[in-house]
Structures are given as C-alpha cells and as structure tokens.
Amino acid sequence: MITLTGSPALKVQVMCEGIRYTPALGAAVAHAMPNYYPYRFKDGEPDPTGRGTATIPYLINLADGTEIRILGNGDSPWHIEGDLGQGYVLIDDRSGLRVPMVFEPLRPWQSSRTSDGMPFAQAGVTTHGDMLVINVAPGCEYFLHKHEGQSMRCSFCAYGAPDERTVHLGQKAGQVGIPQPTLERMREAMDAVIEQAGIRHIYLVGGSLTDWRAEGERFLQLARFVKQANARGIPVALGSGALPDDLIEQFHREQLVDHVCFNLEMWSEPLFAKVCPGKHRYVGYARWIAALETAVRLWGRGNVYSAMVAGIELEPEHGLEWEQAARIALEGAEDLCARGIVPIYSLVWPVGGRQRPDFHARIRSYFETLNTGYAEIRARHGLRVADSFMCHRCAYMQLECDIDRAAEAVAA
C-alpha cells in the first residue's frame, strides 16, 4: 500500500483544508496571478476589506516545483506570512511546520493587448504553471437546454455558462465555426504566453455542443490553426468531448494533436447520468468510452486520457460515504487502465454537506485513498502520465504526477 509523504502529502492537505486569509495573502495579489474565485470571509472572521470578499492569489509553488491551487477557508489551520522581498512561508498552526513557497506570478502578458486592442486575458488563453489552456469558445450549449425540467449542464460546472466571455470571443449560439479574428487574437496572446511562461504543454478545450459531430468540426478548425501557429512544436492535447470515429481518425491522420483527453468525468453510468446529464443525453456513456477506445487504437496506450471529477460524489444528493465513492472511482480506474486509458482525477470541493464536522476530513480521506490506490493500478498496468501531456508544474488540482515523481525519486 502506497503512503503519501513529502510534497504529495502536503499538497493534499492544503488542497482539502484550504488556506485562511492573512494580510500577506491579500497583499500578494499585487504581483501574483489572481484567483478566479474570491475569498469569502466566514461569519465572525476578521475582514479588513469590509466587503465580505477579497481577491487572493490562485496558485502556490513549493521549492520542488509542486503546484497547489488555493482554496480560501476561514477555518483552515494553514496560513501564509511574508512578502515579495523577504519571501513567503506556508505555516501549519497545528505543528508549526513552515514551508517556503512562492505564488504563481502575475506576468506581463496578463496586462497586455492584441494589435487591435483586445486584452490578452480576454483572448481565450489561460495558464496553469507550464500548461497553456486554449479556450476560444467557452460557452457550453448544455447550459441552454433542459429535459423534463432538468438542466443539461454538468452539475459541478459553473464555467461554461454563456456570458460576456462568449461575446468578446465572437461566439454565438448555433454557430459552429470560430471567427478568424478570434483565432488571430488568440495567436498573439499565445505567442506572448509561450515566451513568458515557459510553456511545455498546450491543451485545447471549449464548451460542448449538443451535436458531437459539429463539436468535432469546431475542434478540427482550432487544432489546425494551433498546429500552424505552434512554431516551437509544443505537445498539444485535444480536450473536446467524445467525437465520432471518423473525426477522431481525421485528427490522427493530420497529426494535429499528440494526446487525446475526452473527459468522461464520472465512473458508473448512474453517476454519469446524474452528474453529466448533457453528456449522457447527447453522447451517452457507452459511446463516450467507445470513443476513448478508438483514440487508444490510434494514439496507443498511455496517450489517451480522461479527466475525472473527484469529490462531487460526496454531494448529499448521491447518498455516498467517502469509502463507497472511493471504491467506485477505483473500479473505474482499473477498468479504464485495462483499456489503455489514463484517468486524471481533479479534486472538486462539494458544495453540500458543509455543516458536517468531518466535511474537510472526508474529502481528504477520499482523495488520498483514491490516489494511492490508483497509483498502484497505474503501475500494475504499466501506465504513467506522459510528461508531454502534463507534469507536476501544471497539475494544480491533481496528484498523479506528484506521486509518480516521488516514487521515481525513491527508486533512484
């Protein structure tokens, strides 16, 4: 049985327990990449802003390159002290442990503009460490559809709702093609990000379409453009939804991407149908897995991935304790790895159940059990996360790369 130690153990603690607000954390936004979600002060917590919320940094990096996303939590035993000049320290109130760290920096591209005046930050690019995420069509059609009164959006997703982002990217409902000016602006931003952030991975994503063939055509347009713009030959991963076989074969035939990542999100058809009703209705569980198998046939074992949301099963509506949820997820890991598909488990903090005194502890127990068990499954099947797909420097909510790196260091 694998036991988490070192940076992986620290990372899972901080991801699950969060970090509470300090003046040092708040002041760091002057030079750190900002979080997409504000810090929300709990009742009775000192609030120097007087507004109930505060902007905080998004990511921290340890001395060995381990990357951790920041969850604001007023009850956390972890806090940060220091400043840019003296350096920052992550502190555990319980043990007094002090861990040197830095924030993911605010880079010049994030305040730069395209040649026609569009802020790079609105041009469809974001970063996680050394990964560039390209998303020039974020609006998801599942948000626009209901079936028998139920929204078709994935229950964990708040990002894909059509909003002002889709307007300035030129995305319109029912329009499959990406406007050429959008792609040209993205190219300018992409060039700047690659130059400044040491990018080693490119990940193509976007909002889902209810017609999986139309979604494939959109991603073909995007992948062809990126291939032409990617002068440095940085490895590219396709992060669309599942696609028809002939379109998957087209991506392979044109050598547009190095890896495929059709995100199943949830193992077991009943949970998939509940958590991802749009994916279940418009593609289907069996067809999704079959599409992943087609990709394995073309790209080979270990080059095909599926992001999985880890923790959403602990929402009260699913009636699962963490032990049951971990068992189901590990059954899925075993099945997918046997097919040559590598699942990647991203921690998702459940919204419900926060009144439980063991809320954070059960998330941690679940995520640790899942990841240690999954590491053994990967090893048994001779699979690992390809460094060209992702690494510890961009795995901000995942543990696979951290665990494998720690194991390799011990073996050496």
SS (H, E, C) the chain: CCCCCHHHHHHHHHHHHCECCCHHHHHHHHCECECCCCEECCCCCCCCCCCCEECCECEEEECCCCEEECCECCCCCEEEEEECCCEEEEEECCCCCEEEEEECECCHHHHCECCCCCEHHHCCEEEECCEEEECCCCCCHHHHCEECCEECCCCCCCCCCCCHHHHHCCCCCCCCCCCHHHHHHHHHHHHHHHHHHCCCEEEECCCCCCCHHHHHHHHHHHHHHHHHHCCCCCCEEECCCCCCHHHHHHHHHCCCCCEEECCCECCCHHHHHHHCHHHHHHCCHHHHHHHHHHHHHHHCCCCEEEEEEECHHHCHHHCCCHHHHHHHHHHHHHHHHHCCEEEEEEECCCCCCCCCCCHHHHHHHHHHHHHHHHHHHHHHCCCCCCCCCCCCCCCCCCCHHHHHHHHHHHHC
Q: Are residues 320 and 288 in the same domain?
A: yes
Q: Are residues 272 and 150 in the same domain?
A: yes
Q: Are 267 and 316 in contact (CB under 8 A)?
A: no
Condensed to tens digits (0 to 9), the pLDDT of residues 119-137 reads 999 999 999 999 999 999 9
pLDDT band at 357 (very low <50, low <70, confident <90, very high): confident
Is position 35 within any domain?
Answer: yes
Q: Are residues 157 and 23 in the same domain?
A: no
Q: Are residues 99 and 115 in the same domain?
A: no
**Can you tell me the mean pLDDT for 252-261?**
98
Q: What is the CATH number of the domain that holds 236?
A: 3.20.20.70
Is position 1 within any domain?
Answer: no
Q: Are residues 390 and 260 in the same domain?
A: yes
Residue 160 has pLDDT above 90, yes or no: no
Of 86, 103, 120, the last residue of a domain is 103
Q: Are residues 99 and 112 in the same domain?
A: no
Condensed to tens digits (0 to 9), the pLDDT of residues 34-51 reads 998 999 999 999 999 999
Of 74, 103, 132, the last residue of a domain is 103
Q: How many domains does the chain have?
A: 2
Q: Are residues 179 and 258 in the same domain?
A: yes
Q: Are residues 285 and 374 in the same domain?
A: yes
Which residues form the domain of 198? 108-411
Q: What global pTM score does this model have?
A: 0.95
Is position 199 within any domain?
Answer: yes
Q: Are residues 73 and 221 in the same domain?
A: no
pLDDT attached to residue 1: 57
